[in-house]
Chains A and B, each alone.
Chain A
Amino acid sequence: MIEVCGLKKYFQTGGMFGKKFIKAVDGVDFEIEKGESLGLVGESGCGKTTVGRLILRLVEPTQGKVIIDGTNLFELSKKDLRKMRKKMQIIFQNPDASLDPRMRIGDCIAEPLKLYKVVNKKKMNDKIMQLIETVGLNPEHVNRYPHELSGGQNQRAVIARILAINPEFIVADEPTSALDVNVQAQILHIIRNVNEKFGLTCLFISHDLEVIKIMTDRVAVMYLGKLVEIGKTDQIFNGTKHPYTKALLSAIPVVDPDVKRKRIILKGDMPNPINPPSGCRFHTRCQYSEKICEIEEPVLIGNGHKVACHLR
């Protein structure tokens, strides 16, 4: 259903003297099947949030295509783009900032209903109540302001609002990172139920691997603007082929005191995206790095389970 080809986004920085480019996304290709949930994992600075914005054209690309149901998103006129927007929605990370602080929750949810004339005025209230129930809010929340509700409740309101217009594709950008563990569980359940019930296609962006494991069918791992591995969730978690993914997985803290895990500690910090390392971007921190890794950039190859590494 969704095809991303050669997607690039460079942010310009630096003043009059010496323009520099932050290569946030530097050539990314992947596909998402209809009804599928693809996870996009990586640490801060890897570009996953930018990919999420690009795929909805909330940000203009430097290069590349995003093809949704046969149409290239970036070739649409402003008017057609707005029509397209009805099909695709996004859940942001910070629920308190995602809602207009001056609008009541009920009005927030009514907004898309009015904009797209989904229901007439008489049925508006019923539809809002229906949505409220789907996400587990109470009727009295409709009259409250966002700052009067908790983060979890606000995120539910955000989901209700998105569902109002029956989208086909949603991007969930770290939807629970700002929430407590228990609330996280509640919200993730709602997202999963909603995805199943309405057959939604989903791009689930997160840095939390355990969440990704549960919420996705396939996973793509990003590092410094590029995809390093992509495959079925099962394949990635139980049979990863890329050293970075291995390190990521080993870094997840585990509660079970009996599990003695050998942690792979990466050296140093993430390199600067203005000047990514030559060859394979990960080579500066990779424990298996060899000469070829410094010189030549590996390509994402494979059948179903793809990896970008010279030492596969």
Chain B
Amino acid sequence: MTFLSIQNLNVHFHTEDGAVRAVNGIDLDIEEGEKLGLIGETGCGKTVLGMAILRLLSENTTIKGRILYKGKDLLTMSDREIRRIRGKEIAMIFQNPLSSMNPVLTVGTQVAEPVELHQHLKKQDAMQKVIEMIKSVKIPSPHERAKEYPHEFSGGMRQRAMIAMGLICMPSLIIADEPTTGLDVTIQAQIVELMSEMLRDSGTSMLLITHDLAVAAELCDYIAMMYPGEIVEYASIRDLFKDPKHPYTMGFLDSLPGRGLKPIAGLSPSLINLPVGCKFHPRCSFATKRCKNNRPELIEVGKKHYVRCFLYD
């Protein structure tokens, strides 16, 4: 039984300007202990996918499909059941720690929250765990730091505090949304090392959502490339880098500064106005008539390597 299995997920928002089709028929599996990187540009729907797993989306969304966690469908669970899973079995680390943390509560209180909620520990026992956790994310002087407020922490420390909050209940799955964006390069390096170590030691699975392929390359085993609303390629990090199949993946790699900074012409389509047929065809140099009118399916092109492209069909 797959640890986390997302099956034919569709998430649509209804707005004045039309339906925002953030997620369109996505299938994704994560095995136990596996780390999957979900890569995509801003506005492709990756954060929506992450939030959908924990049912954190607002009321005006239409969600269809199944998200099976250890065999149970998260989407049909009662509120009580899903709350028991949030923070305890599946935890989320949000981007932008400064706005994701409550500015009027001390960091210690906030890191303690998941433990107090799920493990029903008394204040002192909870604080004990909190100090241990803060120590393990390598924040110096944990006792003093726990009594400070988020704005007194530096960006890197805040991110560590968020990681501490996420991992304190020892969840089986961590969803990390852009954990290194906005941080300085050297601090980013620290955070990536830290996450790498902690995940390795605990065997926790992870869904890493980011636009930074390099960070995902360091932390993940498999990569899913997302293009507005759908997965266009899925492969191990090695296969993706050495043998990218989808034109978007190839273009994405080429646009990285380290590879010559060759941009893909045009812009990503808006989620309200998606093109017919293959979503990438307006920008694809290999596009054919078939691509304009038909949407390709995800097919296997190698061992655990899938592409959504007519070039291989």
User: Do A and B contact each other directly (Cβ–Cβ < 8 Å)?
Assistant: yes
Total cross-chain contacts (CB, 8 A) = 104
Known: A251-B188, A254-B258, A269-B154. A182 touches B264 (CB 8 A): yes
Question: In the complex the two chains form, what is the Cα distance from A200 to B200 in whole Å?
Answer: 50
Q: Which A residues are in CB contact (< 8 Å) with B262?
A: 185
Question: Which residues A234-284 have CB closer than 8 A to chain B?
Answer: 247-248, 250-257, 263, 265-266, 268-270
Is A44 part of the binding interface, using a Cβ–Cβ cutoff of 8 Å? yes
Give chain B's interface secondary structure class: helix
Known: A253-B212, A253-B217, A253-B218. A248 touches B252 (CB 8 A): no
Q: Which B residues are in CB contact (< 8 Å) with A153?
A: 267
Q: Which B residues are in CB contact (< 8 Å) with A184?
A: 255, 257
Q: Which B residues are in CB contact (< 8 Å) with A44?
A: 155, 184
Are A257 and B261 touching (Cβ within 8 A)?
A: no
Interface segment among B115-123, B167-175, B189-197: the answer is: B189-197
Q: Which B residues are in CB contact (< 8 Å) with A268?
A: 140
Known: A251-B185, A253-B212. A210 touches B237 (CB 8 A): no
Is A93 part of the binding interface, using a Cβ–Cβ cutoff of 8 Å? no
Is B214 part of the binding interface, using a Cβ–Cβ cutoff of 8 Å? yes
Question: Which residues A283-301 have CB closer than 8 A to chain B?
Answer: none
Known: A181-B41, A269-B154. A257 touches B241 (CB 8 A): yes
Is A84 part of the binding interface, using a Cβ–Cβ cutoff of 8 Å? no
Is B238 part of the binding interface, using a Cβ–Cβ cutoff of 8 Å? yes
Are B237 and A182 touching (Cβ within 8 A)?
A: no
Are B211 and A181 touching (Cβ within 8 A)?
A: yes
Are B189 and A210 touching (Cβ within 8 A)?
A: no
Number of B interface residues in the complex (CB < 8 A)? 40
Q: Which A residues are in CB contact (< 8 Å) with B184?
A: 43-44, 207, 270
Question: In the complex the two chains form, what is the Cα distance from A210 to B185 in whole Å?
Answer: 11
Q: What's the interface size class on A, roughly?
A: 35 or more
Q: Which A residues are in CB contact (< 8 Å) with B189?
A: 250-251, 253, 263, 265
Q: Which A residues are in CB contact (< 8 Å) with B42?
A: 180
Is A186 part of the binding interface, using a Cβ–Cβ cutoff of 8 Å? yes
- A181 interface neighbour in B156, B185, B252, Cβ under 8 Å: B252
Q: Which A residues are in CB contact (< 8 Å) with B218?
A: 253
Is B92 part of the binding interface, using a Cβ–Cβ cutoff of 8 Å? no
Are B258 and A210 touching (Cβ within 8 A)?
A: yes
Are B193 and A181 touching (Cβ within 8 A)?
A: no
Are A269 and B255 touching (Cβ within 8 A)?
A: no
Is A189 part of the binding interface, using a Cβ–Cβ cutoff of 8 Å? yes
Question: Which residues B162-217 have CB closer than 8 A to chain A?
Answer: 184-190, 192-193, 211-215, 217
Q: Which B residues are in CB contact (< 8 Å) with A251?
A: 185-186, 188-189
Q: How far is the CB of B178 from chain A (nearest CB, A)?
A: 12
Using CB atoms and an 8 Å cutoff, list the residues of chain A in contact with chain B.
Answer: 43-44, 150, 152-153, 180-186, 188-189, 207-211, 213-214, 247-248, 250-257, 263, 265-266, 268-270
Using CB atoms and an 8 Å cutoff, list the residues of chain B in contact with chain A.
Answer: 41-42, 140, 154-157, 184-190, 192-193, 211-215, 217-218, 237-238, 241-242, 251-253, 255-258, 261-264, 267-268
